[in-house]
Amino acid sequence: MINTKLPNIINDINTVLFPNLCFGCNARLYRGEQTLCTLCRNQIPLTEFNFSDENRLDKTFYGRIEVKKAACLLYYSENGIVKNLIHHLKYKNQPQIGDFLGEWFGSSLKDDTSLPTIHYVIPVPLHPKKLRQRGYNQVASFGTQLAKSLQAKYADDLLIKTRNSRTQTQKTRLFRMQHGKPLFALKNTQILQGKNVLLVDDVVTTGATLEACTKALFTCSDVSVYIATMAMVP
């Protein structure tokens, strides 16, 4: 009797001592709530972008690189729920936030008939040094959930980051132009031939990272690139 009740008592004590908090507003989560409280879920700025109508994220890439179609789940702002979510995901060791966002976005994408069959979901990679520091790629859980929803293969070993970008930003533009080997590279330039790739990232600001990744994907011939991200800066 005591043995079966003990875990429940420990759970109750844990709930009192370490209550689950909303990653959006820090409020205490109630039974049935996960990651975000109901209020934050209702207030979170959804883009409602899809893969048929032209949207603001598509326009980011016009004239720069041929992305077939792009969409993102949320609008990012300097304050608020989305910023708090992404901050916890990236810097507070909360990779499950990516699962939450990936499940959410994935459930709408799997019913989006304008998105063709996706063969590979590929995350924007971290440099191995950064990956060791953080312990995980913050896009991995998001990408894995999207791949699951779309019945695609999640591949995090094809696209690699060749340099740590922090060292890059410290150098001048001229230095980079003279010594500029690409920031991203494709390990295998055959495997993606004739395939539809969904490139995934966390927050799009200028689109430069996704542009560089797409360029690397195009070192394989006949690849179609689609983009899905958690959020964009409007």
What is the binding site for Zn ion (CB under 5 A)? 22, 24-25, 27, 37, 40
Task: Quote the least distance from Cβ 228 to Zn ion, whole Å.
Answer: 24
Q: Are strands 120-123 and 184-186 parallel, antiparallel or unpaired?
A: unpaired
**Per-residue tokens: 119:** 């063969």
Which residue's CB is nearer to Zn ion, number 43 or number 165?
A: 43
Kindly tell me which of 31 and 181 has the beta carbon lying closer to Zn ion.
Answer: 31
Which CB sits closer to Zn ion, 40 or 203?
A: 40
40 or 210: whose CB is closer to Zn ion?
40
- Residue 20 is inside which H or E element, if any? none
Q: Residue 75, CB half-sphere, CA atoms under 13 Å: how many?
A: 13
Evaluate whether 119 touches 197 at the Cβ level (below 8 Å).
Answer: yes
Contact residues for 171 (Cβ-Cβ < 8 A; gap 6+): 179
**Total count of residues recorded for the chain:** 234
Q: Least distance to Zn ion from the beta carbon of 81, Å?
A: 7
Taking the complex as a whole, how short is the minimal distance between the CB of residue 25 and Zn ion, in angstroms?
A: 3
